[in-house]
Structure formats: structure tokens, C-alpha cells
Structure 1
């Protein structure tokens, strides 16, 4: 390996910049040139590729988003698009590629891997839904953003004796809703992994009212239904009028937490180590605080697993 490339793709996540920094400086430390691919796979097809020096990634470890930017690229899903991307990599003499992103980004790396090109995936997504790793880059920061919002909304809920519904991100995975709900003391958590039981929710709300509880927080992952849809159902079943807060894209932004900065640095450096050892077609992750790597093609065939013990605990503690 004389030259490696790095790109970020998909939804941005706090800590992506820390991962880019780690890739660049780890490679340069070992005498390898690094090229940044701007605007994800679209930039790869278009040849928006530029060399990065150690100074190129100075003062970015604390910044949210991604300096390499990101873009959707339907063209890359085609054989023609993938072939054009490989031509650009060959044109710039790039021997291996680090891809930082979520499920869609991994599928792009998988496509290049199947064509014989060495790629290493680094899990960067706030959804925490990548198999093979306990935590993804950006999850901890997004979680703390949601918890901060819950704490503030609870103040108002308590003052006005109201029930609030907070809609959080999570199309197919309920990790943000679950972890934020437990740590924020939510009375009810609605996630994609467990079919919603409106009768059970009704019983929980009414039981709380009977024991004198005057306010409550319901967390719903966007993949189940919108906060407004849930509010209508709650009103219809219980007569309780709720207020809805949709946190939206604010969950993706902000300066990454120390945990995300350390995780991103470790995973980015590990990805470079694999490429330098001529180990492409891999993805990196963390299990029990130990760095791991696994076949990126196999990883995409595995289901995402939610910790249902935490889900059960949240129910037991919110009586």
C-alpha cells in the first residue's frame, strides 16, 4: 500500500471527522499517502479526489459533520457507476479505500470488494445499527443530544402536568429511542423491534394517573410512526391530550463526545492497519471494548440486534 483513500457517505454523524483525522495521520505516520474523496460515492465517480496532509485534518477532531461532505448517489448502485469509480481509483493510483458510514455506505464498499478492490468499512452512523460492533461512531453524541432535550421537555411537562411525545430518529433500529428513554426516565418507549401495544400503553398511562402522576414522557422511534400519529392514537384511546416534539436532524449535529472521539480514532487507525496488512474486504468494530474486524460481506447478511434486556429494564423502572 502506497496510497489509500478515505470517504464518508450516508447521513453524517458526530465523530466522522475524528475518524478521517485518524485515517490520515495513521497512514502518514507509516509513510503512506492519503487521498480524500469528497462527496461520498458521487465524488468517487466524478473524481473529486485530493491529497490530504497531516495539516489538512488539523482542528477537526471536535467538529461535527464531515469535512469530506456526503451525497446520495443512485448511480453507484449500477455496474457502470461502480466501474467508473474503480477507474478513478486506478487513475489516482489509490491502492485501498476506507469507507466511513452506515448500512448504505457498507453496501457500496461491499460492491467494490466483490469486484476485487480492497475496502475497509468504519461504522459511522447515529442509529447504532451496524452488525458486528456494539457501538457506532456518532451514537453516543446523538444519544446525549436526545437526553438533553428530554430533560428540558420534562421540566415543561412537569410544570404544566402534560404528557409529551418525543419523536427521535431510528427508521429500522430503536437504539436511540431505547437508550435515551431509559437514561431519560421515559414512561413509555416505542421501537421498531417490538410491535406497538396500544392497550398496554393505555394501561400504563391510566395507572400512572390513578397513582397521582400528572405528567409523562413517551419516546417513539420514527420508523414506527410519527409523533403526531401516536398523539392521535393516545388521544383516541385515553382522552389524554399530548404535546409532540420532533427532534429531527439536530440529533446528527454537534461536537462529538469524548467517547465518540476516542472510538472514531481507534476504529479509523484500525482500518489503516488492516489495509497496510493487505487485508481488504473487512469492517471494523468494537466488542467489549476490544477492536475487532470481520468480513464486510458476511456482516451485511447479519441482522441488527437490540439489547432486549435494556428494553425490559426500562419497563420495570417506569412503573
Structure 2
């Protein structure tokens, strides 16, 4: 299984490097809204979620993480982005069998209505505002499938169907996501790799999608009898330099989580999470310098939630605990 994991990563690196040879840098790819991180939990962790994916946002970050979902679940996310742009996303996932899980999300992104401006309508080499208005809308539908290959290895695939209406100009395209998660290297350690936005049908001729390979690690341990998750990612995009980041999540009991993250693009992020039986709520705050601040709120509901599915807490008499997917968490006593 280790050889499968390593071979997959090597092949993905070669693929991304070959795609990167066709672009020159930032702004040279199309559909850059595909880079907008989905799911408040993952974003609060600095978008370092390649190995930590275990909820419905796995459809975006690493499709292999869907295999950690043991009960049908739906989530809704509201994003307040920059320049008045907003997005709504609904996620859903359900296990079909003990080894097979299906997931879907629909993202709908809207821009504020603006005035049409023409250039030099009278030949004076100037700009002129008209009475016409325009508005752009984008939707991304992602259909995902994950399978448990063994107790150590999960794999997943996702198909993105993209639709654009940019000021009346319409276009459609499709892209592929793929992911793998490996859990048998060390106790409490999870490794992950995901390939995002591999173009199947381009929106327009000679335009490339922002393809990215992400490599991640997640380590679970116990601090003061509560669960601490540490995460790290390295991202290799086809239109920019290599990026890296780290994140941490600390649960107080089964109910409240504090999160923080960092990556070399958007820098620092913070967030909170609350879990009450079948209901969950998450929030992410991401300052982006002079550009402003972005906010994400996610609400989720899990059907038929069992006690085993709740966030883990280390009991005083135990030296190990189990998380959603059955991984053990190392314990450190203070």
C-alpha cells in the first residue's frame, strides 16, 4: 500500500509540472474562483486539510476523505468574499456500503450588480458610463465518490461541472479531482494527497484551469485529556510558486473546538466550531491585508448520528481514543 501511495504522488507531481510548463504565473489560468476554499472548518485551519479531510468539504479538499463519513450528512456554507462577492455552497454525502461513499456539492457565486462602462464612445479616448447594468453568476457542481481499499488506504474521485455567465457571456466546462489518504505509516499519523482541477473540458480555447497538487499530513494527540489535531500541507500549483501551511484544532470535550492556521498565501486564519448532537456549526475569519476580511459560516446536520461518530475525548483511564474513522490518538499527560 505504501508503494501505491508513493507512486501516486510521484505521478501527480510529474503531471502538475508538465501542466505548469504551459502557464507563466499568477493570473495566467482561468476559472480562478475554483481556488476559493470551501468549508469554514478547513479554511480556519489555514486550508491545510489534505490529510485532515473527514467531513463533506472533503469533496473539495480531498475526495478520499469522504470515506470517513459514517452517516448521511448535509452542510451549508455562506461566504462573504472580497469586493462584495458572495457564495453559497450546499454539501451532501452518504455511505452506500461499508466501503463506498458518494458526495456532492453545489457552489453558487454572485457578483454585485454594476454599471456597464464603454471606452471612447465619442472618439475622445475616454470612459463613459451607460444606463445598462450587468451581473455575473458562476456555479460549480461537484460529484464525488470515495472507496476504502484497505484499513490503511482510501481513494476518491470527483467530477466538477462548471457554468459561467459573465455579463451575458456564457461558457461551460468540466474538471477532475482525485485524492488518496494513507494511515499505516505511524500510529495517529495520516498522510494525504489530492489533485484538483485537472481539465477535461476547458471553458474557452487555450485557457487552463488552476490545477494544484496538495500533499498533507495530520497528527492526532491528546492534551489535557482533550483532542488536539495538528496539520500541515504543501501545495504545488501550476500557476504559482510552491506554498506551505500549518494548522491546529483543539477540542474541549465533544462540543467546542478552537482552530488556527497559516499558509504562505492568505497568511493567518482563525475559527471556532460547535457540535451539539446531530448539529454542527463552524466559523472562519481570514484577514487579507489591504483587500479586507473574509468570513465563512458553515452549518451541518448528520442523520442518525451515533455516539461513536462524535468528536473524540480521551477518557482519564484510557491511553488511546478513537476518532470518526477509527484512528488512534496519541496521548500526552500534563
Query: Greater share of helix residues, 1 or 2?
Result: 1
Which TM-score band (shorter chain)? under 0.3
Q: What TM-score comes out, normalization by structure 1 length? A: 0.23
Q: What TM-score comes out, normalization by structure 2 length? A: 0.22
